[in-house]
Copies of this chain bind each other. A is one copy, B any other.
Amino acid sequence: MSSRENSLRALEQIGKILSEQVLHSKPLTLEIPVRTLANVVWDPRSKLLKLGSRKLRREFLDMGEARRFTQTILMLSLIVRAIREGDYPTIRDLYYAGKHTIEYRDEYNRLRREETWDDQKESDSVIQDIEVLTGFLREHMGILHDTKGKIVGRIRIRSGADVIDCSRMGDGAYSIPPNPDSLEILGLEADYVLVIEKDAIFNRLNKERFWEKSKCLLITGKGQPDRSTRRMVRRLWEEHNLPVYVLTDADPYGFYIYSVYRSGSITLGFESDRLATPEARFLGLTVTDIYEYKIPRNFIIKAKDRDIKRAKELLNYPWFKQSKEWVKQLELFLEKQEKVEIEALSGYGFKFLTERYIPEKLYGSKWIE
């Protein structure tokens, strides 16, 4: 049974609970795990952000919750209808499909109007409630969104009736579909996954056929990765035991991108146990690399205020705070206030990255965890 069918069962189950409440004249109530920061906890054992045990009761007959309760039921019905009719709406489609004005008369018989939701933030948030309520990701439900990920290397994938060989993409790549859980990984020959922050660097390593020479899979999420790219990386690590290395610029934005692959974003903490790769390793560039590789002074970029701010934030993330090496890197950054792009290595020749830097880091075990 596909993940979409499974999620339909879970959605219908909620409908069943609600209809039984009606039939037994009980107040309509949903129990939804709390998604706010206060209920997102760092689990050091799994090295993941997880939802805590707090749940909230959402009641239709509570004036303060009637709106959100109605929104939840509206979204549930939209998703169930889409699955039953074989539609694949985007999150924005769902926003529009559900958006309408409810007219009603209040206790003084005045005509009043209420929008089902005012903006997409509201409808997206309801979708997240439904994710934690059912335990299925919106991707499982066939809800679509922008995708950013690309993959190349010796991996064969079945998607629907097609078998895709990601080592036969020429100079292009396979664009990772919105729901990586629908992919069946038929086989792979690779020793590790190299996640590359920058699309242009991915294109270069692909053009050099680095994945063939170094027996790896190349993946990029084009900067801050989308959920599909993160899920794909997670599956390769979890199901195929591939070590995952992340290659970024030496700046807090690069470290943050690594952090998202590794432990999830704090606002999406509840999805980390399916999207994050807690053992992902940071291959660099590190702050110390700037000085160890003697990056020329005129390649170094002065940190901006937002870099400083972000570095301070990162120092508060449990997975950075508890790592001696990361504390050292971030404190050195805050002291020097200097950053460097990965392309700066091209000052030593275009082959330096693939023939010196990556092998030195990989085979010298010089990554950070």
Bound complex: CA of A223 vs CA of B43, how far in Å? 39
Residues on B with beta carbons closer than 8 Å to the beta carbon of A97 = 346-347, 349-350
A125 within 8 A of B: no
A-B contact pairs, 6 of them (CB 8 A): A90-B200, A90-B204, A90-B343, A145-B203, A169-B175, A171-B183
| A93 interface residue (CB < 8 Å to B) | yes
Give the complex CA separation of A203 and B179 in angstroms.
Answer: 11
- Using Cβ atoms and an 8 Å threshold, which residues of chain B touch A338? none
Residues of B within 8 A of A183 (CB): 170-171
**How far is the CB of A300 from the nearest CB of chain B, in Å?**
11
| CB closest residue in chain B, given A199 | B146
8 extra A-B contacts, CB within 8 A, seeds A97-B346, A161-B170, A172-B177 = A88-B203, A89-B346, A93-B343, A146-B199, A159-B172, A164-B169, A171-B183, A177-B203
What 1/0 mask marks residues of chain A from 87 to 98 whose CB sits below 8 Å from any chain B CB? 111111111110
Q: Is the CB of A204 within 8 A of B88?
A: yes
Closest residue of chain B to A343, judged by CB? B92
A121 close to chain B: CB less than 8 A = no
Return the contact of A174 from the options B88, B174, B343, B347 (Cβ within 8 A): B174
Q: Which residues of A contact B (CB under 8 A)?
A: 82, 85, 87-97, 99-101, 115, 142, 144-147, 150, 157-164, 168-179, 182-183, 198-201, 203-204, 207-208, 222, 296, 298-299, 341, 343-347, 349-351
Inter-chain contacts of A204 with B (CB < 8 A)? 88-90, 93, 144
- For residue A365, give the distance in angstroms from its CB to the closest CB of chain B: 27
Interface pair A164/B175, CB less than 8 Å apart: no
B177 touches A343 (CB 8 A): no
Q: How close is A93's CB to chain B, nearest CB, in angstroms?
A: 4
Contact B203 A147 (CB under 8 A): yes
